[in-house]
Amino acid sequence: MKKSDLSEFEIQDQEFKLRIKRDVGGRAAPVASAPAAPVAYAPAPASAPGPATAPAPAAVVADPNIKTINSPMVGTYYSTPSPENPAFVVVGSQVKVDSTVCIIEAMKVMNEIPSEIAGTIVECLVANGTSVEFGQPLFRVKVG
C-alpha cells in the first residue's frame, strides 16, 4: 500500500468484504467480515483526506468563479483514452458542457465523463490511474 501510495483499499462480493486502511504512521489495519446480506456502499465524506487530492490554496477556494467537476461514480480515473493518446484536458483547457474530461473505469466498463460546466480547467486534482470515490472532485474549473 505504501509503495502505491494507497491509504485505503476495499473489495467485496456477495459473501465477503475486505477493507484495509493505512493510518498516518503507515501501519495497515485490516478488517474482514462475512455479512449475511450484501452491504450497501456508502461513500467517504467529502472532507476525508485521500491520497489523490491535494488541499486547495486559499485563493482558489475563495474565488466564487471556481467550480469543481466531481466524479459521478467509484472507479479508476484515466486522463487519456489510451496510453499513447494525449489527455482529454489539461490545465488551461477550455471545456464546454458535455465535453469529455476523463474516463472512469468501473466494473471493466470505460465511462466517458462529461463536464457539467463550461469554463477553463485551472487544476487537475487526480493522478492518472488512481481510484476515485463518488463525488470526489476531479477538476477545478474557472467559469465566466
- Backbone CA torsion sign across 101, 58, 131, 87: positive
Question: What is the pLDDT at residue 23?
Answer: 66
| 7, 30, 71, 86, 136 from 139: Cα distances, Å | 21, 31, 9, 17, 9
pLDDT tens profile 32-69: 444 444 444 444 444 444 444 455 544 445 688 999 99
Amino acid identity, position 14: Q
pLDDT tens profile 128-142: 999 999 999 999 999
pLDDT tens profile 113-129: 999 999 999 999 999 99
Ordered domains of the chain (ranges, CATH): 1-37 (no CATH), 58-142 (2.40.50.100)
Chain mean pLDDT for the chain:
78
Distance CA 123, CA 86 (A): 17
Is residue 141 within 8 A of residue 78, CB to CB? The reply is no
Residue 99 grid cell: 465535453
